[in-house]
Amino acid sequence: MSSDGTLASNPWIAVEALDNEAFARLRRRAIFDCCKWDPQVGDTCVIARHPLVITHAAWREVSTLAQALAAETLAAEAELTRRPALLRRLGIPRSVRRALRRVSSAGPARDAARLMRFDFHYTTEGWRISEVNADVPGGLNEASGFAPLMAPHYPSTTGVGDPVDAYVKALVAAVGPRATIGLVHATAYCDDQQMMTFVARRLEAAGVSVHLASPAHLRWRDGSAWLHATWWQGPLDGIVRFFPAEWLTRLPSETGWPLVFAGSRTPLSNPATAIVVQTKRFPLIWDALETRVPTWRALLAETRDPRDAPWRASDEWVVKPALGRMGEGVGVRSVVDPMEMRRIDRSVRWCPGAWVAQRRFHPLPIEIDGVPAFPCLGVYTLDGRVVGAYGRVARLPLIDGSAADAAVLAA
């Protein structure tokens, strides 16, 4: 270890940020070419002025780890759907557990183009992951769109992959050309629609017909999905789901939402069984699995039920909601506002089975123009193969909705 505490194999290469003029142009292109419709969150611009530049060696290393994680995750998911007795410990709602129990009778939902994103952090102990986004991994428009915008300003770098390009190819391979795909999402949120629109454009360019719709528009006939919308009704050859699995249970019964968990004959990306590995309580059942998860054990910080961890008395533990996303509700005592921490405390007391305690890791910052920043590298796997990355950078060691999206380049 060097005298400043960083490891000799620090994966990041510090670069200078873009100047104001170049950044203004990039921001405009991000909006109009990459569907980045939420560039400002509160007082914070959430487009990074610099890329995350990783060494080629580190990218190869993290790619190998991500592919191992993906294989373990898919195997564990398959086992968990066959063993419903373990679901109760996962902190997923009762209605979801009921839906998952149908796998044994209806069979698993047909899947296609399984997309996941593993969030890596480089720490004092090397690479660690904070979570997998196995259910509805976001950030695709930024991951595919930002690198081509940034790369010309950093000529010694290369991209690490275009995840949407790979995703579209996999979807087309699954459903065939001239197919009709429903991109199902929460239609109220423009930050959800932006990603769907970006993917839709690429699918249309590949000859696929697309419909951006709500899951409330789904109907089923003999296990096959139909779109039942005012503007169009007809069979779907595939569904891209960007709607969290645990939200499906809030839909009316006529939407047939249980088939997204089990029994769908229409290929789903992703089937809702992904929730069993999406939950942050997934590590709590590892010892009960026949599937071995050595990469998970090596990379994920120690995880316990909050009733079994001293998180209230120790800064070395954080608490997280089992189904939290985007860093919301994460209780990091030295980072989170005290009033918010008290709210989290009450929530954990009231419903500990919906939370998890995790030993803190200590991410190493990089310096950009003299200012420390904490990077997070989200590595996408598609059917087990790495296809690209989504970078985020935060001023604090907590990646939440105010973290800036960063292009990922390698050098």
Question: What is the binding site for another protein (CB under 8 A)?
Answer: 24, 28, 31-32, 36-43, 45, 88, 91, 93-95, 136, 186-194, 212-217, 228-232, 243-244, 246-247, 249-252, 255, 321-326, 328-329, 339-340, 343, 347, 350-354, 401
Rounded to whole angstroms, the Cα distance separating 241 from 136 reads 7
Alpha helix positions (H), 235-308: 245-248, 258-261, 275-278, 294-299
Nearer of residues 136 and 332 to another protein, judged by Cβ? 136
Nearer of residues 173 and 326 to another protein, judged by Cβ? 326
Rounded to whole angstroms, the Cα distance separating 411 from 403 reads 23
Least distance from another protein to the Cβ atom of residue 345, Å: 13
Non-local CB neighbours of 98 within 8 Å, separated by 6+ positions = none
Phi, psi of 175, deg, nearest 5? -110, -15
Task: Say if residues 270 and 241 touch (Cβ distance below 8 Å).
Answer: yes
Task: Say if residues 233 and 226 touch (Cβ distance below 8 Å).
Answer: yes
Nearer of residues 193 and 295 to another protein, judged by Cβ? 193
Task: Say if residues 387 and 73 touch (Cβ distance below 8 Å).
Answer: no
Nearer of residues 41 and 75 to another protein, judged by Cβ? 41
Least distance from another protein to the Cβ atom of residue 358, Å: 16
Least distance from another protein to the Cβ atom of residue 63, Å: 27
Nearer of residues 354 and 373 to another protein, judged by Cβ? 354
Rounded to whole angstroms, the Cα distance separating 121 from 118 reads 10
Nearer of residues 106 and 216 to another protein, judged by Cβ? 216
Least distance from another protein to the Cβ atom of residue 249, Å: 7
Least distance from another protein to the Cβ atom of residue 29, Å: 10
Phi, psi of 391, deg, nearest 5? -100, 145
Least distance from another protein to the Cβ atom of residue 245, Å: 10
Least distance from another protein to the Cβ atom of residue 32, Å: 6
Pairing of strands 180-185, 209-213: parallel
Rounded to whole angstroms, the Cα distance separating 388 from 382 reads 9
Rounded to whole angstroms, the Cα distance separating 9 from 38 reads 35
Q: Where are the beta strands (DSSP E) in 23-92?
A: 40-41, 44-45, 52-54
Non-local CB neighbours of 185 within 8 Å, separated by 6+ positions = 192, 193, 195, 196, 212, 213, 214, 241, 242, 243
Task: Say if residues 333 and 316 touch (Cβ distance below 8 Å).
Answer: no
Nearer of residues 125 and 204 to another protein, judged by Cβ? 204
Least distance from another protein to the Cβ atom of residue 407, Å: 19
**Token pair 């419909």 is at which residue?**
211
Least distance from another protein to the Cβ atom of residue 71, Å: 27
Nearer of residues 352 and 384 to another protein, judged by Cβ? 352
Nearer of residues 83 and 97 to another protein, judged by Cβ? 97
Rounded to whole angstroms, the Cα distance separating 329 from 105 reads 36
